[in-house]
Structure formats: C-alpha cells, structure tokens
Structure 1
C-alpha cells in the first residue's frame, strides 16, 4: 500500500448491528482494501448473508484476491462455499491444522490452498501471526499502516494479549488499532481490566472489539479508552490514512 493511499477495512459480517441496511448474524468477516489488492478475512457463518451484505455495501466479491480464515469454527468459515461460488480465483490461507476435508473442498472449488504454520509476511505489509495455539489453533492478521500496526482477530482463542504481543513482535512498530473478536464474553471485570492494562502498556492506540468480545468487555474498553474506543458492528468502515 502506498503511503498516500487509505487503508479501508469494512466489517461485512458480525452479530453486532451497526448499519441498519445490513443483516447481523453470529460470526465475523471483514474486507480489507489495500489499494493494490483486496482481502477477505473470515467469511461469517452464512454465505447468503455474507454476499447480501457485500452487495448492499457495493463490494464486488470478484475483486477479492485472497481469503484468510482465522480458525475452523463454522461462524468464521461457513460462508466460504458461497463466496467461492462467486469467486474461486483466490488464494485461501488456512491454518495447517484445518481438517483435510475442508482443504480438499477449497481445492475442489478451484481456489488455491495455502497452509499457514509460522508467522510471516504474506504480501508487502500484510503478516499472519501463524498458527497460535489456545486449544483451538488460530491465525490473526497484522497490517502495516501509515499510523502503525492494525491487528485483526477472528476470535482470539489463543488469548487476545498473546495475539497482540505476537503482532508487535512481527510488525516491529507501534500498535494503532486492534479490531475483531476478543473472546471475552465470559470474562470477569477484573480479568478484562487486566487485559486493558496490558493493552495500554503495550501502547495500543485504538480498539474496536466486536463479535465474541461480550457486552461487558466492550463497555469496559470504552470506559478506559474513551474516544479511542470505536463502536463496531456489521457495516462499520475504518479508513486509516497518514
């Protein structure tokens, strides 16, 4: 991405409503527009809802060149078959631990399968954390932006703090935004406040918890981050410019 271009991230699938034109449903997906390429991170649970929301937002599935799946749960991979029905000319990056049946289906539908094990740079300025283990193996994305690193998580099963620390280690830059599912729905106030304290020590500038983050955690993040907390849900767009 050129320094004079805006990075655009649009949540196209989430259980939290935001844009009243769109359907909300349990799961997560976002489209990342980097100027020279467009990526899809996760696919939600229902392909019909995914494609309908993308259409209403004016996002053409055929313009997407790569898909990243964070982990195996159905609310993150369920929309993939319908998406590949619209655009199979993509590379699909999955954790290597994914079941062989899903890998075979991706190949069968005509997409290129890319198995992810270790952290690394996939495209210029686009990194995967690699498979992080937290009972469920999961990858997150780390994006270099003019304002610092943007971290996108599906559910953060390996622990949101572990994901953010790994992102900083990989990207070697300041942390601008952490976005996605933080997996804190059942966490206590003290546990969430402990995570917020670590975020602040790590220098996280902005947060946008959604999906499985939980209402209590979202309220606590808003309390501590103030105007640097970004309310998010399906249809929310982030524009990151210099």
Structure 2
C-alpha cells in the first residue's frame, strides 16, 4: 500500500514548487493512502489552501482533519477552511480548551469532533496516537513550562513498518516514536515532520540522533521546527534532505 504525503505548508518553499507555492512559519500536510485522505494541521493562514490548489489537491476530498496540537502555526488556518460538508476533526480534548474562543466555536460548529486522549485507529492501519507517554530521560516533553499533553501525531502501518507524521513534537520525537511502535505493533519505517530540535540543546540533538541510529529508521524527514545546524547534523549522520512546501513524499 502506497502512502503519499504532500507538504502544503512549511517554513520554506521547495525548489520544485517555487514558481507556484508559497511558504510561512507553520506546518500542514495532505496524506493519502488507498483507504483514506487526511488533512494534517493547517498552518496559520489560508496558505495551505493556496498551495493545495496550486498542486491540484481538492481538500474537500479529505475524510478527516487531524490537529497535532493547539499552537497557532498549526491550527489558525482552520479559520479559513472551505469544506462543503462537516468533516471529522480528530484532536486531543485539551486543544478545545487552549485555542481561542473563535477557533473553538468554529471547530464545534463546522466539524464532527472526535476528541480522544487515547490512541485511536480511525481508518484501517491509520492511528491517531493520542496522549504521548513521556518515557525518555532526555526529552522534557513540554514547551515553555506547558506540559503540552495535547501534542500528538499520527502513525500509518505498512509492509515495511510504521510511518510517523508529527506536527512539532513538543512531547519529544523519540517519545512519540516509542508510542507509535507500541500502538502499531511495528518498528519504525519513516518519520516525517517537525522534530523540535535546535542548537540550543545540543545534548538533546545528539541523544535523538543516537536513538534514530539504534532504531535503524529507513527514512527521516526533519523539517519545520528544526534549525539549520541540526539539519546539518542529520544530513551528516543520515543523509537526510530538508523537504518543504510543495514537496511530495511517497512511501
């Protein structure tokens, strides 16, 4: 089963899409499997819609919308949605408490909300991971003092292992991956999205790289909230290439 992930919003625009896509600080991706189509996060403006149109993607074909966490650069694009029917919106219940009142009202009015703290298989082989257990000793699993219990991700099972798609990984990218392995019953095949790593915490970067080496992950795609020096570390260790708005990852 082929999985296609199109990056609709990212901090940069890819070279292949530079003439017709734009970028902004934030993240959004459109996920397609044989069974389901998912809009994962929406950036912070209507840019994800502009890029979807430029790439020939009809967002009304989405079966689900999934939000990784409550931050503005992943949820504010929802305010400009143009869905013609109520879509199923999967999120952690804390998101409804943490977003602005206008967003919460829109979510409740325009969507069929599926709020879950627990992991949820919402399509065959496709899981919302729910609340992420903090297991590693080196990841704080918080953001500026906020425990970020609403920070989650999705995982997709394949014949080669689990694909993990993250928004910002405030829960800790390794914590997320360990939970994904437990939920899916598979080893890691690919990890895509924001890893939330930067030069300010080189010890965390080093331990994360050590973790991925031990996991022997075939495909790593760090982006969005990963700074340039850290991307260089990942390139030197794994040969990773930075993907951006307009890029398509086929697994």
**What is the aligned-residue RMSD (CA, Å)?**
1.6
Contact 1:174 1:203 in 2 (8 A): no
| Alignment pair present for 1:93 and 2:90 | yes
- SS for the counterpart of 1:157 is coil
Q: Tell me the residue number matched to 2:31.
A: 32
Helix, strand or coil for the counterpart of 2:94? coil
Q: 1:62 to 1:200 in 2, by over 3 A?
A: same
User: Is contact 1:61–1:87 with CA below 8 Å preserved after alignment?
Assistant: no
User: Are positions 1:169 and 2:167 aligned together?
Assistant: no
Corresponding position of 2:13: 17
Q: Which residue matches 1:41?
A: 40
CA–CA separation in structure 1 for the residues paired with 2:33 and 2:107? 24
CA distance in 1, matches of 2:200, 2:211: 15
CA shift at 1:187, angstroms?
A: 3.8
Supply the distance in 2 between the matched residues of 1:13 and 1:200 (Cα, whole angstroms): 28
Output the TM-score relative to the length of structure 2. 0.87
Name the SS for the 2:197 alignment partner.
Answer: coil
- Look up the match of 2:105: 104
TM-aligned CA distance change 1:88 to 1:79, over 3 Å: farther
Q: What TM-score, normalized by structure 1, do the two folds share? A: 0.90
Q: Report the Cα offset of residue 79 of structure 1.
A: 0.6
Q: Are the equivalent residues in 2 in contact too, given 1:11–1:234 (CA < 8 A)?
A: yes
C-alpha distance in structure 1 between counterparts of 2:84 and 2:168, whole Å: 25
Could you say which residue in structure 2 is the equivalent of 1:82? 80
Equivalent residue of 2:225, what SS? helix
Q: Distance in 1 between matches of 2:199 and 2:233?
A: 13
Show the counterpart of 1:124. 124
Question: For the Cα contact (< 8 Å) 2:166–2:193, is it kept in 1?
Answer: yes
1:103 CA drift (Å):
3.8
Residue 193 (structure 1) aligned with residue 236 (structure 2): no
Q: For the structure 1 residues 87 and 136, does the alpha-carbon distance in structure 2 shift closer, same or farther, using more than 3 Å as the test? A: farther
Among residues 231, 235, 241, which one is paired with 1:230 in the alignment? 241
The gaps in structure 1 that reach 5 residues or longer are: none
Contact 1:65 1:89 in 2 (8 A): no
Give the equivalent residue in structure 1 for 2:113: 113
Q: Residue 152 of structure 2 contacts residue 171 of structure 2 at CA under 8 Å; is this kept in 1? A: no
The 8 Å contact of residues 127 and 156 in structure 2, kept in 1 or not, is answered as yes
CA distance in 1, matches of 2:204, 2:152: 23
- Structure 1 segment 152-167 matched on structure 2, within 5 A: 152-167=165-180
Aligned mates of 2:26, 2:84 — CA distance in 1:
21
* Aligned-residue offset at 1:44: 0.6
